[in-house]
Amino acid sequence: MPISDPAREPFSTPQARSSAGVLGMWLFLVVIAMVFVATMMAYLVVRLGTGDEAGWRPEGSPGLPRELILSTLLLAASSWTMQRSLAAARSDHDDRAVTTAWATFALGWAFVAVQCVAWSRMWHTLPLQESLYAWTFYVLTALHALHVLGGLAAMYMVIMRIVKKHDHRELVLGLTKCTMYWHTLGVIWLALYATLWVGSFD
């Protein structure tokens, strides 16, 4: 019988692989958070350095689209369903966990759809090239939306893999990482929304 050497095979047990996966996700989330913190700080520096006389917001231009309030509520709801999915998985209710994960998936797509409506409404009155105010709005919200789409893709792969394999341990690990990522995007969106809101004032 072969003897496993932990020094050579540090991830030879399911527990070790699970811990390594969670640690890797934490490191990944730190990198994402740093990217968004840097972009928000850059936004505020540019905003504070651009006086009213420089025309930060063109006269008559709209403030933030009201649809952003709805998209915020949708993201908050999806964060709740994601947490419920993980709780169900940890309680050995795998079917409920998968069903609630699908609900999160649907709410995530609803968030993206509402963001598209907000961009469309903004574009009719203030295209991207019209001002720095418009450009930063589109770039920052699109950057977040791209991360949401990446999370939805990962969530779909996790759910489908679980449905096919019926592996409870993999269900818990996959949903744990998805939940960590999704909650992080929720917190980042709140900070980003607040930053855009402050920057929208003349």
Inform me whether the pLDDT recorded for 2 exceeds 80: no
- Predicted local distance difference test score (pLDDT) of residue 154: 93
H helices present in the chain, as ranges: 14-49, 67-90, 94-125, 132-165, 168-199
pLDDT digits (tens, 9 = 90+) for 126-143: 787 767 888 888 999 999
- Predicted local distance difference test score (pLDDT) of residue 3: 46
- Predicted local distance difference test score (pLDDT) of residue 85: 95
Domains of the chain with CATH codes: 14-199 (1.20.120.80)
What average pLDDT is seen over the chain? 85
- Predicted local distance difference test score (pLDDT) of residue 11: 53
**Total-model pTM:** 0.86
* d(C-alpha 89, C-alpha 171), whole Å: 7
pLDDT digits (tens, 9 = 90+) for 70-99: 999 999 999 999 999 999 999 999 899 999
Burial of residue 4, with CB atoms counted within 10 A of its CB: 0-12 exposed, 13-18 middle, 19 or more buried: exposed
* d(C-alpha 189, C-alpha 202), whole Å: 22
Q: Provide, rounded to the nearest whole percent, the portion of the chain with pLDDT above 90.
A: 55
